[in-house]
Each structure stands twice: as structure tokens, then as C-alpha cells.
Amino acid sequence: MDEITRRAWAYLSRVAEPPNRRIAELVSAEGAVAAADRIRRRDVDPALKRATEARHDVDRAEQDLAILDRMGGRLITAEDDEWPFLAFMAFRSVDCDKRPQALSPLVLWVLGPSQLCDTTDRSVAIVGTRAATSYGEYVTADFAAGLVERDVAVVSGGAYGIDGAAHRAALASDGETVAVLASGLDVPYPAGHSALLHRVGRHGLLVSEYPPGTRPTRRQFLTRNRLVAAFGRATVVVEAGVRSGAANTAAWAEALGRQVCAVPGPITSSSSIGCHELIRGGKAQLVTRASEVVEVMGRSGEFAPDRERPAATVDDLDDDELTVFEALPGRGTRTVDEIAVAAGMPATDVLAPLAMLSIRGMAVQEDGCWRLSKR
Amino acid sequence: MDEITRRAWAYLSRVAEPPNRRIAELVSAEGAVAAADRIRRRDVDPALKRATEARHDVDRAEQDLAILDRMGGRLITAEDDEWPFLAFMAFRSVDCDKRPQALSPLVLWVLGPSQLCDTTDRSVAIVGTRAATSYGEYVTADFAAGLVERDVAVVSGGAYGIDGAAHRAALASDGETVAVLASGLDVPYPAGHSALLHRVGRHGLLVSEYPPGTRPTRRQFLTRNRLVAAFGRATVVVEAGVRSGAANTAAWAEALGRQVCAVPGPITSSSSIGCHELIRGGKAQLVTRASEVVEVMGRSGEFAPDRERPAATVDDLDDDELTVFEALPGRGTRTVDEIAVAAGMPATDVLAPLAMLSIRGMAVQEDGCWRLSKR
């Protein structure tokens, strides 16, 4: 993506409250650069003119991208390989009169080593109340660890309570986790989760529809929830009060045709009321362990229970590369020395093949160890 | 019922393991006295001959009835007004090849002031594991009290754990409760529940298909469970382990077309596993409070949410009787003085009308107070 195009996307990301159907249509018809240009020149239909009235001359694209670059993040759009088309496909089947927010984002601001597309191919959203009980946090950690063990990524919203417990447990089990923020990537929210979100950005993915500097609002939380639901092949509600954000995410998941699961708890606990209501109302399947979530996903037909190694590109490898590729573990990571032992090659001879595998996107280096790419 | 007939029923109750289809058919064709006589004389088909081989000459009818009389109990059959035809009707629709026990009992040995037919018209079975947690016992008490408050009787099996908590809470709330035993009425089981079962027999109903002196067996517990399920318009499982008697009762309730409800609990509690399995398998509706159980019963169409006063016989009352009848409270009891105040009559003048109402079965005296009959 050239810098002019990139700036146009960044401008479009800020010029109206996302998601905006009219901007999406204009971009689709004329491209991002022309769309940005026309919005700047006020050469747009009255509705879009109104939607962009307040911010059309606030062009902070350069600064936003500079902040993103400093953080080591990236701006992705439907033109990128990493764009999660599959996750967003479901928005097309939602009745937009009922749910005007049911649109793909225009751009995503992303930070982290994982590839959004690959990660969300095999992921579950775990959500719940900020007022989690110790029972709820324990159960969340149990589910997150169980999912990670099955090579499933854990998506959540970075909040206190269940969200935080889900991210933490996924990280602790060396699994992939995605935090979808309702603020800019440089505005960790809640502030008390700065360190946790930093770790998510280093080892998993931080994702936001909002440009740097954006502070979260209630509207943004609800808009964000649609992405949490879209990214998870299933959504698990662990604890939820009577009216909760988790119930909103569950409603999004249902609207998107995703499986909704809920964990029961003591009927004497107000933090489980929302879960029991979802189950009673036939809106969620009762689950008691991670394997049941994976089973539910399997039934939905969206998802094969076990991932196969990438076979398509193995044909392109030379002998040494293939040998080293085969020496990478199915799960977890290995040091260069361990790979050398497994490959039956001198350690010095595995480095070049590893570099080639990395360039081909088939192996990933992580903290000095190597693993198969999840692609 | 004359004494000869009564002895015939008592003999038939003991001569084969109940329920026995062939005895039922023989009684239906020839009456109890002739049936008993033919069994004694071995003048029956080979299958029935075999079923009654061991006990045909053990005639303890006189002693059994003497024990029953001393306890103040009664033996009832389909010839009695009290016989719960409605509760037993569902046995006809069960596939008897799959469930050979799906038969009405031939006789029931009953002790207690309530009328079985009326009580089971408006009742819920609460069942669960003997290994109840304090959570389970608390929830049971909460449900039983809530049901009794809605004038619903609580049926259970008299066991330790959930059963006992259900009976106790119903008694404590001055409600009706029915314990269906797998032993004779004079063999309180478990022995530790002697006092509790005695109270159930004084204030509610003790019911058994087995003659006095019968000790419970595993087979009898399972056979008994069909009566618990049949007597409840719905069955609520509060806590149940993986393979439990409660699950057996729930299966009976399902086979009989009764509503099955289950209370969720912590997924970390082994005592809730059975409940979660019932809900997950679509075999039970998740419930969190008594009102939801009543709602479920209402949906089943078997049951009107609120009971009306008996209207059919009001026309038969004279003015004073009608005035006193109207002065009886909708729920609970009143002293004679309170009734006099409510009726606007001297206390001495309400006694005769109360006695007449009692004779007509429209009012009941209880511990010196009066209430509407539940009939």
C-alpha cells in the first residue's frame, strides 16, 4: 500500500463514526484516495456530507500513522491478505434495518505478531461481566486454557473481569489471544489493564476500528462488540448480569449466525443471571467445559475439529527446507538445537532453511524458538 | 369397601412384585375377591402362576391391615374417590415393551390427612441426589417454599439430601407434601428420616405400593420413582450426580409426558453434573425459581396458574353458611374469632355453619383454626 493510499484510509477511518455504509460504498466505487478527496472537497451526497461535516477538515492521518508506526502496528483493509473476510461475511446476512451497525469495518488498526485472518479462522470469543466472581474467573481461565490447548485462539474485549481473565489465561498457556478495543490502540482501556493489553499486543493481537487517540464511548463499546462476536466462531458467555455488554455480544453472535454458549452458575449468584436467561430463552447452549465448545463449533460446520499442517506450499521446498519443516513441532516451539536434533542436521545448517521457511511464512521465530506458522 | 374385598386387595398387594400386568388384568376382568381366590387356588395362567408361585400361600392380609389400621392409614384402589386417575393416565401412553413397569399400581397404602387425588392435581416433584451440597439444600428449600406459597404440593421420595430438604421446607411453610416410599409405611427409610416421615404422615401424605413390613430394594426404588414422576405435574431436579436416582425419576417424568426442570449450579460441583446434562441434552428446562416451574406447568396446559374456590357447591349453602364460607381466607387459616369478625357474626353463631362446611368438605379444621378445603 503506497503512502498516499495509506493516508487516505487513515483519513477515512477518522472522518465519520464507523461503520459508515456511505463511505464504504464510495470507497468501493472509487477507491480510498478518490473517496477521501471527494469528502475533503465536500463533493459528496447530502447524507455523507452531513456525516462528515464535523471532521472533514480534521486531517490527522499523518500523525495517526506516525503513532501507529512507532507502536509497530499496521493499518489493514480489505485489500490486505490478513483481512478476515470469512469472519465478516456474516454481516451480509444481517437485516441492516434492524442492526444498522452490521457492517464490516472500513479499516482495522492492528498490533501484534499474529495474522488476524488466520487467528480468527480458529477462535472463540469469551466474554462476560466486569463484576466477575472468583467462580467466574476460575471458569474463564479453565475454558481459555482448554481452548488454547486445542489450538483455538481466545477473542475478548480487554475489560476487567471475565475478559481480562480470558486474555490472561490464554497468554499463560502460550496461546493466541485477540483483544478488540473500543478505543485507539494507544489508549489502553481500562487503564488498569495497560500491562495486560501490552502483553496481548506483543504476543497476540490488539485490534481497533478507531484511530489512535480515540477514547472509548458507550456507543463504541456496543459497536466493538459486533467485532468480538464476528471474530469468534462461537461466543461463550461465562458470567453476565441482567443487562450486560456480554448479552449484547451474545445477541450479535446470534445475529451473525454464530454459536452462542453460556456457562451456568449458582442460581444464587447475580453474576450468572444473564447466562441462565440465555439458556432458558433457547439463545445459548449450556456448556461446562472447553471440549463442549469445540463440539458446538464442529456441529456448526464452520470448523474442522483439528487443523492440518499447511500442505499447499510444501512442494516448493528444497530437501533441507523440507527436513527442517518436518522437524518443527506440531504444537509449541523448539530451539534451533532441538530442531537440529530432530532434523538430524548440524545446528549451523538448519539456520538458512529456517530463514527461508520464515520468508515463505511457514515458520515463525518467537523468543528465540521456532514454531510452525498458524497460517 | 367390605372387609373381604379389602383383604383380597391386601393379599394381591403382596402376592407378586408390583406392578404386575397379569394381576391387574385378572382383577379388571373378575374383581379383586375372585382374582385373589383364583391365585390362591392356582387356577391361573402359567405366567401368573409363576409370578405368584413363591407367595401365593403367604396370606398376611389380616395382619397387614391391622398394622395399617393401628397407624391410622388406609388402603386405596381405583374404586376409591381418592385414587389419582389423572396422575396415572399417562402410564397408558408409555411403550410397555420399553418400560414394563409403566403401569398404575394395583393398590396404594396411604397415611395422612390429605386426599391423594386432590394433592397430586396440583403438585411438583422435587428430587435430587442424597449427596446434596449446602447450595442444593438451600435451593431446594427455596423452591419448595415458593411452590407451597403458590398452593402447589411438593412430592418427593423421602431420601437424605434433596428429598428430605424438599419435604422439610414444605412442612415448614405449612404446605402439603407427599413422600412416596419404596418400603412399607411402617418401615421408615432411611431410618434417620423416621421423625421427618412421621411428620409427613401427620400433615401431608405417606404413600407406598408395598404392604407393611416391606424393606426397600434397589428394584423397588426404581419402581417407586415412576410414582414420584407421575404424582408431580412437573419434576424438578435440583442436584444430581452423573448416574443418579434423580435422573431415573426425570426419565420417568419425560416418558410420562411431564415437564422436567433442572436447576443449574457451579460447573465445578459434581452434584450439579446431572442437572447440566439434562439441560444440555434438551431433556430438562433450566429453572432458577419456583415461579418458573409454575410457568412451565402452565405451558403444559395441564394446570391452571391459580386455583379457583370451589364454586359447584356454593349454591347448596344457606345464608349463614355462605357468609362463613366467604369469611374463610384465600390462603392460610383463621381462628373462629377471626372468622366471626370477618363474617360480622357472633363467634357462637359461626360454629354450626363451620361444622356444616366441614361435613360438606368445603372447610377443614386444623390445629384449632379453619381453612378452605383444597378440594
Q: What is the CATH number of the domain that holds B345?
A: 1.10.10.10
Which residue, A294, A342, A347, is CA-closest to A148?
A294
| Interface confidence: ipTM more than 0.95 | no
Does residue A70 belong to any structural domain of this protein? no
Contact call for A279 and B267, based on CB within 8 A = no
Predicted confidence at residue B173, as pLDDT, reads: 96
> Which of B266, B279, B289 is nearest residue A265 as measured by Cβ atoms?
B266
Predicted confidence at residue B313, as pLDDT, reads: 62
Predicted confidence at residue B362, as pLDDT, reads: 82
**B88-97 pLDDT, tens digit each:** 999 988 888 8
**B contacts of A135 (beta carbons < 8 Å):** 266, 268
Chain A residue nearest residue B135, CA to CA: A266
Contact call for A276 and B265, based on CB within 8 A = no
- Are β-strands A259-262 and A285-286 bridged in parallel, bridged antiparallel, or unpaired? parallel
From A38's Cα to the closest Cα of chain B, the distance in A is: 55
**B343-367 pLDDT, tens digit each:** 878 887 888 888 778 777 788 888 7
Contact call for A266 and B265, based on CB within 8 A = yes
> Which of A139, A264, A289 is nearest residue B264 as measured by Cβ atoms?
A264
Predicted confidence at residue B315, as pLDDT, reads: 67
Q: Residue A38: pLDDT above 70?
A: yes
Q: Residue A337: pLDDT above 90?
A: no
Contact call for B286 and A264, based on CB within 8 A = yes
From B253's Cα to the closest Cα of chain A, the distance in A is: 19
User: At which of B245, B270, B299 does a domain end?
Assistant: B299
Q: What are phi and psi of A112, to 5 degrees?
A: 140, 160
CATH code where residue B155 lies: 3.40.50.450
Cell of B283: 431433556
Q: Residue A304: pLDDT above 60?
A: no
pLDDT-based confidence at residue A366 (cuts at 50, 70, 90)? confident
Instruction: Indicate the range of A344-358, B64-78, B306-320, B342-356 predicted with least confidence.
Output: B306-320
Does residue B102 belong to any structural domain of this protein? no
Q: Residue A41: pLDDT above 90?
A: yes
Predicted confidence at residue B305, as pLDDT, reads: 40
SS3 label, residue A197: helix
The pLDDT > 70 percentage for chain A reads 95
Which residue, B274, B256, B257, B255, is CA-closest to B265?
B274
Predicted confidence at residue B98, as pLDDT, reads: 85
Q: What average pLDDT does the segment B304-317 reach?
A: 51
- Are β-strands A363-366 and A285-286 bridged in parallel, bridged antiparallel, or unpaired? unpaired
Predicted confidence at residue A335, as pLDDT, reads: 87
pLDDT-based confidence at residue A310 (cuts at 50, 70, 90)? very low
> Which of B267, B273, B286 is nearest residue A280 as measured by Cβ atoms?
B286
Predicted confidence at residue B302, as pLDDT, reads: 46
**B21-42 pLDDT, tens digit each:** 999 999 999 999 999 999 999 9
Chain B CB within 8 Å of residue A134 CB: no
- Which of A276, A278, A287, A289 to mutate to test binding with chain B, by most B CBs within 10 Å of its CB? A276
Whether residue B47 is found in the same domain as residue B120: no
**A contacts of B139 (beta carbons < 8 Å):** 267-268
Predicted confidence at residue B311, as pLDDT, reads: 45
Task: Return residues 162-191 of B near A (CB < 8 Å).
Answer: none
Whether residue B209 is found in the same domain as residue B287: yes
Cell of B143: 423452591
Q: Residue A302: pLDDT above 50?
A: no
Does residue B260 belong to any structural domain of this protein? yes
Q: How far is A19 from A30, CA to CA, in rounded Å?
A: 18
DSSP H/E element including A340: helix A336-343
Contacts of B364 (CB under 8 A, 6+ apart): B358, B370, B371, B372, B373, B374
Whether residue A293 is found in the same domain as residue A348: no
Does residue B82 belong to any structural domain of this protein? no
Distance separating the N- and C-terminal Cα atoms of chain A: 22
Whether residue B265 is found in the same domain as residue B140: yes
Contact call for B264 and A268, based on CB within 8 A = no
Contact call for A267 and B265, based on CB within 8 A = yes
Contact call for B276 and A263, based on CB within 8 A = no
Whether residue B197 is found in the same domain as residue B321: no
Contact call for B267 and A268, based on CB within 8 A = no
Whether residue A45 is found in the same domain as residue A174: no
Q: What average pLDDT does the segment A282-293 reach?
A: 96
pLDDT-based confidence at residue A270 (cuts at 50, 70, 90)? very high
Query: Which residues form the domain of A161?
Result: 108-299
**B contacts of A279 (beta carbons < 8 Å):** 264, 279, 286
Task: Look at chain B and report how many structural domains it folds into.
Answer: 3
Predicted confidence at residue A305, as pLDDT, reads: 40
Q: Residue A76: pLDDT above 80?
A: yes
Chain A CB within 8 Å of residue B286 CB: yes
pLDDT-based confidence at residue B307 (cuts at 50, 70, 90)? very low
Contacts of A254 (CB under 8 A, 6+ apart): A260, A283
Does residue A167 belong to any structural domain of this protein? yes
The pLDDT > 70 percentage for chain B reads 95
Contact call for B276 and A265, based on CB within 8 A = no
Q: Residue B174: pLDDT above 50?
A: yes
Q: How far is B33 from B77, CA to CA, in rounded Å?
A: 13
**B contacts of A267 (beta carbons < 8 Å):** 139, 263-265, 288-289
DSSP state of A90: G
> Which of B138, B263, B279 is nearest residue A286 as measured by Cβ atoms?
B279
Predicted confidence at residue A315, as pLDDT, reads: 67
Predicted confidence at residue A250, as pLDDT, reads: 95
User: At which of A25, A43, A58 does a domain end?
Assistant: A58
Does residue A64 belong to any structural domain of this protein? no
Predicted confidence at residue B178, as pLDDT, reads: 98
Chain A CB within 8 Å of residue B295 CB: no
SS3 label, residue B289: coil
User: At which of B265, B299, B333 does a domain end?
Assistant: B299
Instruction: Indicate the range of A219-223, A331-335, B129-133 predicted with least confidence.
Output: A331-335
Predicted confidence at residue A324, as pLDDT, reads: 87
Does residue B308 belong to any structural domain of this protein? no
SS3 label, residue A261: strand
Chain A CB within 8 Å of residue B289 CB: yes
- The mean pLDDT value of chain B amounts to 91
pLDDT-based confidence at residue B312 (cuts at 50, 70, 90)? very low
**B contacts of A139 (beta carbons < 8 Å):** 267-268
More confidently predicted of B318 and B149: B149
pLDDT-based confidence at residue A196 (cuts at 50, 70, 90)? very high
Q: Residue A307: pLDDT above 70?
A: no
Chain A residue nearest residue B133, CA to CA: A266
Whether residue B50 is found in the same domain as residue B146: no
Q: Residue A346: pLDDT above 70?
A: yes
- Are β-strands A74-76 and A108-111 bridged in parallel, bridged antiparallel, or unpaired? antiparallel
Cell of B158: 423421602
Task: Return residues 250-279 of A near B (CB < 8 Å).
Answer: 263-268, 272-273, 276, 279
- Count the Cβ atoms, other than its own, within 10 Å of residue A220: 20
- The mean pLDDT value of chain A amounts to 91
Whether residue B234 is found in the same domain as residue B118: yes
Contact call for B280 and A292, based on CB within 8 A = yes
**B contacts of A266 (beta carbons < 8 Å):** 135, 264-266
Q: What average pLDDT does the segment B98-105 reach?
A: 90
pLDDT-based confidence at residue B283 (cuts at 50, 70, 90)? very high
DSSP H/E element including B259: strand B259-262
Contact call for B264 and A273, based on CB within 8 A = no
Chain A CB within 8 Å of residue B292 CB: yes
Predicted confidence at residue A327, as pLDDT, reads: 84
Cα–Cα distance list, B286 to A192, B14, B125, B260 (Å): 37, 40, 15, 9
- Which of B236, B242, B286 to mutate to test binding with chain A, by most A CBs within 10 Å of its CB? B286
Q: Residue B375: pLDDT above 60?
A: no
Whether residue A165 is found in the same domain as residue A288: yes
Whether residue B191 is found in the same domain as residue B275: yes
Chain A CB within 8 Å of residue B300 CB: no
Contacts of B340 (CB under 8 A, 6+ apart): B327, B346, B347, B349, B350
Contact call for A289 and B266, based on CB within 8 A = no
Q: What are phi and psi of A310, to 5 degrees?
A: -65, 120
Whether residue A247 is found in the same domain as residue A326: no
Predicted confidence at residue A309, as pLDDT, reads: 39
Does residue A91 belong to any structural domain of this protein? no
Q: Residue A325: pLDDT above 90?
A: no
**A contacts of B289 (beta carbons < 8 Å):** 267
Predicted confidence at residue B100, as pLDDT, reads: 86
Contact call for A289 and B267, based on CB within 8 A = yes
Chain A CB within 8 Å of residue B131 CB: no
Chain B residue nearest residue A284, CA to CA: B280
Whether residue A154 is found in the same domain as residue A252: yes
